Structure 1
Amino acid sequence: MLEINSVRAGYDRTTVLHDVTVTVPKDGVGAVLGHNGAGKSTLLRAAMGLIKPKGGTVLLDGEDITHLAPHQRVARGMAYVPQGQQSFPHLTTAENLQLVADGRPEGKEAIAEALDLFPVLRELSGRRAGLLSGGQRQQLAFARALITRPRLLLLDEPTEGIQPSVVAEIEETILALTRRGGLSVLLVEQHVGFAMRAAERYYVLEAGRVTSSGEGGTGSEQTVRAALSV
């Protein structure tokens, strides 16, 4: 679904990613792991078009989207959930969801589907997003992205600062969505166990370079932990 080929990217004169190649399987999960500062978030921003690569290509389902703007990538089925459980804090949960659904032909149905995936949000529909817990805000951010009916979902550390029970819910939601088909996920994570349970492919980033990669699954967890400990 997604092919990031030999991408170099960064900010101003600073290069953060050095010829990084990552692929995400169709209807599956590709995981990128690494310590803080490894370049994981920069990789997602380059994939989403928020920063322009200095070299390399980005392909979505075989189409070269390297030079497309973020809104053009959204139109082609990409959605991005950045780090930090982002929402509009002064709007209610329902208003946050409706804001994304407005103008979409199947907006009402998409909201209903998102609430079925995260039923706690239905109970909190009238509460301002700024008053939600971190886990609830993360579920809201996830639901907002899913309302766009994406083919490819980019998730930047969705488990950061989240209680274990909600981590389990998010993991099960990702697996359920990919199992039913029509959605691929590029997951950036530091939670190795979570990432390895979800991913078919993994990549370890260190100082902007891929230092280890292979097939996902729990059998690869020790290999990944060893790569991260170097």
Structure 2
Amino acid sequence: MLELSNVRAGYDHSPVLHGVSVSVPKDGVAAVLGHNGAGKSTLLRTAMGLLKPKSGTVLLDGEDITRLAPHQRVSRGMAYVPQGQQSFPHLTTAENLQLVADGRPDGKEAIAEALDLFPVLRELSGRRAGLLSGGQRQQLAVARALVTRPRLLLLDEPTEGIQPSVVAEIEETILALARRGGLSVLLVEQHVGFAMRAAQRYYVLEAGRVTSTGAGGAESEQAVREALSV
């Protein structure tokens, strides 16, 4: 579904990615792991078009989207959930979802489906997003992305800084989405066990380079932990 080939990217004169190649399987999950500063968020921002690569290509379902703007990528079925449980804090939970659904002929149904995945949001529909807990805001951020009915979902540290009970809910939802098909996921994640349960393919980044890659699954977890410990 998504293929980044030999991508070099960075900020001003500070290179971050040095010839990175990552492939996301259709209707599957690719996990990117690495320590802080390895370039994981930069990789997602480049995939989403928020950062232009210095060189290399980005293909979405075979189409070269390297030079397309973020909104053009959204129109082709991409959705991005950045770090930080981002929301519109002065809007209610329901208004956050409706803002994304407006103008979509299937908006009402898409909101209902997202709320089915995160039932707690239905109970909090009238509460301002700024008053939600970190875990609830993260569920709202993922739900808001799903309202767009994406073909490809980019998730940046979806379980970071969240209480363990909510982490389990978010993990189970993402695993369920991956199992039901129709959605590809590029997942940046620190929790190795979750990432390897979800992914068909993994990539370990170190200093902007892929240092280890292989098939996902629990049997690869130890190899990933060893790669991260180097």
Normalising by structure 2, what TM-score? 0.99
Letter in 1 for 2:5: N
Which residue of structure 2 lines up, in the alignment, with residue 65 of structure 1?
65
- After alignment, is 164-173 or 38-47 more displaced? 164-173
Structure 1 Cα separation of the partners of residues 189 and 34 of structure 2: 7
Structure 1 Cα separation of the partners of residues 58 and 162 of structure 2: 31
Structure 2 Cα separation of the partners of residues 178 and 218 of structure 1: 16
Tell me if 1:100 matches 2:139. no
What's the % identity of the aligned pairs? 89
CA contact (8 A) 2:91 2:128 kept: yes
Question: SS state of the match for residue 37, structure 2?
Answer: coil
CA contact (8 A) 2:27 2:183 kept: yes
Aligned pairs for 1:28-177 within 5 A? 28-177=28-177
Structure 2 Cα separation of the partners of residues 175 and 225 of structure 1: 21
Letter in 2 for 1:200: Q
Letter in 2 for 1:167: V
CA contact (8 A) 2:155 2:185 kept: yes
Structure 1 Cα separation of the partners of residues 185 and 150 of structure 2: 10
Question: SS state of the match for residue 160, structure 1?
Answer: coil
Which residue of structure 1 lines up, in the alignment, with residue 207 of structure 2?
207
Question: SS state of the match for residue 172, structure 1?
Answer: helix
Shift of 1:122: 0.2
Which residue of structure 1 lines up, in the alignment, with residue 224 of structure 2?
224
CA contact (8 A) 2:178 2:198 kept: no
Structure 1 Cα separation of the partners of residues 118 and 65 of structure 2: 32
Structure 2 residues without counterparts, runs of 5 or longer: none
CA offset digits 1:43-102 (Å, max 9, x no partner): 000000001000100000111100000000000000000000000111110010011111
Moved over 6 A (4+): none
Structure 2 Cα separation of the partners of residues 168 and 199 of structure 1: 16
Structure 2 Cα separation of the partners of residues 61 and 175 of structure 1: 22
RMSD of Structure 2 on Structure 1 (CA): 0.6
Tell me if 1:183 matches 2:183. yes
Shift of 1:181: 1.5
Structure 2 Cα separation of the partners of residues 16 and 108 of structure 1: 41
Aligned residues: 230
Structure 2 Cα separation of the partners of residues 209 and 155 of structure 1: 20
Which residue of structure 2 lines up, in the alignment, with residue 14 of structure 1?
14
Shift of 1:178: 2.0
CA offset digits 1:137-163 (Å, max 9, x no partner): 000000000000000000000000112
Structure 1 residues without counterparts, runs of 5 or longer: none
- After alignment, is 34-43 or 170-179 more displaced? 170-179
CA contact (8 A) 2:10 2:53 kept: yes
Structure 2 Cα separation of the partners of residues 60 and 164 of structure 1: 34
Question: SS state of the match for residue 6, structure 2?
Answer: strand
Tell me if 1:24 matches 2:24. yes
